[in-house]
Copies of this chain bind each other. A is one copy, B any other.
């Protein structure tokens, strides 16, 4: 078991890759009452085209398989894993993103028993035609419910503009049509390919004894027989890495009162390693704060002339294989909002220069925010993005953020902001 000490934060991470390939990380937190555990498979909604485990021909699975599989994993022949956690006093949950599926629990008691439940239910697939059919109804309703939500439609709309031929344009849960094609066989192919221990990692944070907990995990894993490891053969690649396929504008009408608009920005940079990628991500986070945070001249000007309101938000998302930013607000001036945001992005160089005196404050505020997350076991574990960022933990993120200078902002702005990467999506009230 390796131990990495973060002297500055008075914390240590214990790491080990088990003989079956599972990567385990433990971060004990002195004085805490709760433990949080999260088990992640490197498999998300965009992984819909791959060569299944021990087969030769590539298959394309229906949109929404990763999320469907997440739902089905909890259900076993004669029980539901949720109930087992409940009886042991733990809260459990799961979520699926574009590129990962995670199962988690938090508890103040019976840590090791709950760990067994987690490892056992995720490592024991059970699918029947009947339960698959029932789930198609449940998830179908969930998908329809989201369709009523204008904010969700706005987000999916901009993704459809930014990635018109790539799987990110589809709801992570798929469509009512696509999930109707899911079968137990498709679930099993996906499971065997992506739920191998080599393709998963387990992160525990909070109240725990690293030695005892690691040996408990090993004991659980050593009792099981796993098929020989085989690296998953994904066939995902962006249809057009240059982003020239971005659709510049689309608009949707819904029965709402306030119009909504989102500007999207798709990046095209490729990365050689996760450290470089992390540096880029953190620099872009700072860049967006410089341009748009609520102390910026831009924000105050647009707020005061009612181009945006308190619903304004922006975010940068970076996942395996792609990254993008978005900026949105409710506004009665949808076109003006989009024009202004695009102007600001395209004049980033001057904006950075003008923000020279604000930069250190912005960086300090962002550092403060990340340091604050050190108090949250959930945040530390959920923020961990595995190989994407070369295994960097929150403590490594903080150390990387500290090295970023205002000159880095010019550099990432140049790389990230290109005219062909920009797009606008609107959700417009019916009666306007």
Contacts and interface: CB of A to CB of B under 8 A. Distances in A.
Contact of A108 (B29, B108, B361, B368): B368
Interface stretch (A222-230, A277-285, A372-380): A372-380
B377 A375 contact: yes
A256 B141 CA distance: 13
B295 A138 contact: no
A245 interface: no
A190 to B, nearest CB: 23
A218 interface: no
Contacts of A32: 375
Interface string A20-58: 000000000111111000000000000000000000000
A86 B256 contact: no
Interface string A86-127: 110111000000000000001111000000000000000000
A255 B9 CA distance: 52
B295 A372 contact: no
A173 to B, nearest CB: 13
A147 B257 CA distance: 9
Interface of A: 9-10, 29-34, 82-83, 86-87, 89-91, 106-109, 138, 141-142, 144-145, 147-148, 206, 255-258, 293-295, 309-310, 330, 361, 364-365, 368-369, 371-372, 374-377
18 contacts: A9-B33, A10-B31, A33-B374, A33-B375, A34-B371, A83-B295, A86-B293, A86-B295, A89-B361, A89-B365, A89-B368, A107-B368, A108-B369, A108-B371, A108-B372, A148-B257, A255-B255, A375-B377
